[in-house]
Amino acid sequence: MTGTPYTITNVNSGKQATPASCATANGTGIELSSALGTSCQQWTFANAGNGHYVITNVGSGKVLDSVDCGFRDGTLTDLWSPLGNVCQEWDVSAVGSHYTISNVGNGMVLDAEDCGTADGTVVRQWAQLDNLCQQWDIKS
C-alpha cells in the first residue's frame, strides 16, 4: 500500500474524498466529490509505525488531518502540513471488501456527514456505526 496513489471512495455514495475545490492550503476541508481524475483525489499511504499510516494528498503534498485533534463526533478533517502527531495518523481496517479509516488520536472513523451522497458532503469523523457511510474503497 505504501507509496502508490489511491482514490478513497465512500461506499454509500460512490464519491471520492477530495480537498474542497481541490485547494492545497492548510485547513482545506475534505469533502465528497464525483470522480475528477485529478491528483487532488489521489492519496498515498506511508507507514507511520505500529500499523498506522500517514495519508498524504498527492495534489497538495499535505496530509489528512483531524482538525484540532478533536475528540467529539463531528470532528472535521482537513489538509495540513505534516506535524508528526497522532492526529495525522490513521488505521485502515478491512470490513469485508471495504475499509474503515480511523484516526489514531481519537479512534473515530471517517464518515460522510449524515450519509450524504451529494458533491460537497463533508467528510468528518464519528464513532463507528458499522454502516456504509463509514466504509471506503481504496483503489489504485
Q: What is the mean pLDDT of residues 62-89?
A: 97
Contacts 24+ apart (CB under 8 A), 65-74: 66/103, 66/105, 66/106, 66/108, 66/125, 69/105, 69/106, 70/106, 70/125, 71/106, 73/108, 73/125, 73/126, 73/127, 74/113, 74/124, 74/125, 74/126
List, for residues 94-128, the tens digit of each pLDDT value.
999 999 999 999 999 999 999 999 999 999 999 99
pLDDT exceeds cutoff 90 at 74 = yes
- Specify the higher pLDDT residue, 118 or 1: 118
Give, as one character, the DSSP assignment of residue 62: P
Strands (E), 84-140: 90-95, 98-103, 109-112, 123-126, 136-139
Predicted pLDDT of residue 1: 63
Please report which helix (H) or strand (E) contains residue 19, including its range: strand 16-19
Grid cell locating 110: 471517517
List, for residues 22-66, the tens digit of each pLDDT value.
999 999 999 999 999 999 999 999 999 999 999 999 999 999 999
Predicted pLDDT of residue 2: 65
Grid cell locating 118: 451529494
CA 54 to chain centroid: 10
Residues 6+ apart with CB under 8 A from 61: 24
pLDDT band at 84 (very low <50, low <70, confident <90, very high): very high
Predicted pLDDT of residue 3: 76
